[in-house]
Amino acid sequence: MNLQIKQDIRDKKSKLSIIDCDVHPYPKAMDEIRAYMKQPWRDRYRGGGRGFYDNPVHGSRLDANPPNGGPAGSDPEFLQEQLLDEYGIEHAILLPRAFCNLHPDPDFGTAIAAAYNDWLAETWLGKYNQDGTFKGSITIAHQDPLAAAREIERWAGHPHFVQVMTDSGARAPFGQRQYYPIYEACARHGLPFAIHPGTDGMGINIQPSPGYPTHYIEWHTCLSLGFQAHLVSFITEGVFERFPDFKIVLVEGGVSWLPALMWRLDQEYKALRYEVPWLKRRPSDYLREHVRISSQPLERPDNDQHLLQMLEMMDAEHILMFASDYPHWDFDSPLRAFPKLPESMHNRIFHENAREFYKL
């Protein structure tokens, strides 16, 4: 057996250990996105962002800018070298940042989402994806649920789109019935619905804290508030009973809040179940079947034993999936994000849960 064959075998084995559930690809310039837009949207589009809650220091890893120019996350070869090859990642789940959900004009938001999907399909899921490593997310503008459902239908048969994604910023909790066309389309095509931080308090969306924070550190710390509200809404509104095949993934919204929230909701349910008679089980019982959470940002207490206890309390072995958040400033390295885990928990968090959830 020659050296090249041996190396190929080693490479194949090394790519069986990690599925990264939060990787952000970026266009090299906004003209890449405009090329997929019709008028009048093409001339109107200027990109997007979080307005005054941008990181005041730097938004990405300082070493993530490609050597040939362009923003961090825009060069697939450099991403391959810096993330996939460095850590032996088998699949990277791509979540573009279109920020299309803040626009009061739903047609504009839908046009931005569609352009990002066309761009992702042709580039990162197409000509950059010869080995099928990259798996993508169908971006939708949730302010127009019927148009969002049509966008899901447009891409549902694509071999490399594995989920639907939207920002956590919204005008109403996601369990409410105006969003049902989105969930019906997701369930029909077996596509999980991913929620990622962004546009909270921006444009038409409501800030989840009581008023607007003063500083980025305050805004960023409290991003989990919106995720908690959406999760409670999904459960108590009976979305998982109405759509038994519907699943959600909470991306980049933190982890450690989950056990206490579910304890509180279960306790409330004991006394108030008459208000939500459509629930057939305790609220927490819906988690393993319908909900997954990505690990980044993983809160690390001073005592690693406390983190391990929290992971056990939240049933991390079955609902947590590893995410790095590459190329952002708070990137979690697969080598340093967790303390030493029991082997079965490690395997499920780093690849088995995602493999099952996304049918990879």
254: left (phi over 0), alpha (psi -120 to 50) or beta: left
Q: What is the pLDDT of residues 204-214, one digit of tens each?
A: 999 999 999 99
- Averaged pLDDT for residues 337-342: 94
Split at pLDDT 50, 70, 90, the class of 62 is: confident
Examine the pLDDT at 9 and tell me if it is beyond 80.
Answer: no
The pLDDT of residue 4 is 54
**Residue 52: band (very low, low, confident or very high) from pLDDT cuts 50, 70, 90:** confident
Report whether pLDDT(121) > 60.
Answer: yes
Average pLDDT of the segment spanning 82-108? 96
pLDDT of residue 55: 85
Please tell me the predicted confidence (pLDDT) of residue 15.
Answer: 47
For residue 16, what pLDDT is reported? 53
Task: Determine what percent of the chain is predicted with pLDDT higher than 70.
Answer: 95
Percent of the chain with pLDDT over 90: 86
The whole-chain average pLDDT of the chain stands at 93
Q: Report pLDDT for 61.
A: 87
* Predicted pLDDT of residue 5: 46
- pLDDT at position 12: 45
Would you state the pLDDT for residue 2? 46
Average pLDDT for 233-240: 98
The mean pLDDT value for 59-85 works out to 92
Q: Which of 216, 214, 215, 197 is nearest to 254 (CA)?
A: 197
In the prediction, which pLDDT does 49 show?
A: 75
- Is the pLDDT score of 3 beyond 70? no
pLDDT tens profile 274-318: 999 999 999 999 999 999 999 999 999 999 999 999 999 999 999
Mean pLDDT over 258-283 rounds to: 97
How far from 290 is each of 239, 248, 256, 332, CA to CA, in Å? 10, 6, 19, 25
* pLDDT higher than threshold 70 for residue 29: yes
Question: 126 with 53: CB under 8 angstroms?
Answer: no
Closest alpha carbon to 150 in 190, 113, 204, 105: 113
As given in the structure block, the two tokens for residue 324 are 């790095």
Two tokens, residue 341: 């885990």
Domains in the chain (CATH in brackets) are 17-358 (3.20.20.140)
Angle between helices 106-122 and 145-155 (to 10 degrees): 10
Dump pLDDT digits (tens) for 141-200: 999 999 999 999 999 999 999 999 999 999 999 999 999 999 999 999 999 999 999 899
State the average pLDDT over residues 22-38: 96
Work out the average pLDDT over 115-126. 98
| Closest residue by Cα to residue 88 from 7, 6, 15, 10 | 15
